[in-house]
Structure 1
Amino acid sequence: MLTLEGLVLEREGFRMTADWSLPDGSIAAVIGPSGGGKSTLLDAVAGFLAPASGRVLWEGRDLTDLSPGARPVAMLFQDNNLFPHLTAAQNVALALTPKRRLTTEQTRAVEDALARVGLPGLGLRRPAQLSGGQQGRVALARVLLQRKPLFLLDEPFAALGPAQRAEMLDLVAALAREQGASVLMVSHAPEDARRIADSVVLVVEGRAEAPAETARLFADPPPALRAYLG
Structure 2
Amino acid sequence: MHPLTLEDVHITLDGAPLLGVDTIIAPGEVLTVMGPSGVGKSTLLAYIAGFLSPAFTASGKVRLGDRELTRLPAETRRVGLLFQDPLLFPHLNVGGNLAFGMIAEGSRRKRQQRVKTALEEIGLEGFAHRDPATLSGGQRSRVALMRVLLSRPCAMLLDEPFSKLDAALRSDMRQLVFERVRQERLPTLMVTHDAADAEAAGGRVIELGVEA
TM value normalised by structure 2: 0.89
Equivalent residue, structure 2, for 1:59 = 65
CA deviations over 1:97-119 (Å, ceiling 9, x no partner): 68xxx700000001111111221
Which of 157, 164, 171 in structure 1 is aligned with 2:169?
A: 164
Deviation at residue 95 of structure 1 after TM alignment = 1.6
C-alpha contact 1:55 1:62 (8 A) present in aligned 2:
yes
Which stretches in structure 2 are left out of the alignment for 5+ residues?
Answer: none
Question: What RMSD in Å do the two structures reach over aligned CA positions?
Answer: 2.0
Deviation at residue 135 of structure 1 after TM alignment = 0.6
Amino acid at match of 1:61: R
Q: Secondary structure at the match of 1:19?
A: strand
* Higher mean C-alpha displacement, 84-93 vs 142-151: 142-151
1:92 equivalenced with 2:98 (yes/no): yes
Which of 78, 84, 90 in structure 1 is aligned with 2:84?
A: 78
C-alpha contact 2:103 2:151 (8 A) present in aligned 1:
no
TM value normalised by structure 1: 0.82
1:7 equivalenced with 2:13 (yes/no): no
1:174 equivalenced with 2:194 (yes/no): no
Which stretches in structure 1 are left out of the alignment for 5+ residues?
Answer: 206-222, 225-230
Equivalent residue, structure 2, for 1:193 = 198
CA–CA distance in structure 2, aligned partners of residues 137 and 11 of structure 1: 35
Equivalent residue, structure 2, for 1:114 = 119
C-alpha contact 1:147 1:179 (8 A) present in aligned 2:
no
Equivalent residue, structure 1, for 2:145 = 140
Equivalent residue, structure 2, for 1:210 = none
CA–CA distance in structure 2, aligned partners of residues 36 and 52 of structure 1: 15
C-alpha contact 1:117 1:140 (8 A) present in aligned 2:
no
CA–CA distance in structure 2, aligned partners of residues 27 and 8 of structure 1: 21
Q: Secondary structure at the match of 2:118?
A: helix
CA–CA distance in structure 1, aligned partners of residues 143 and 13 of structure 2: 31
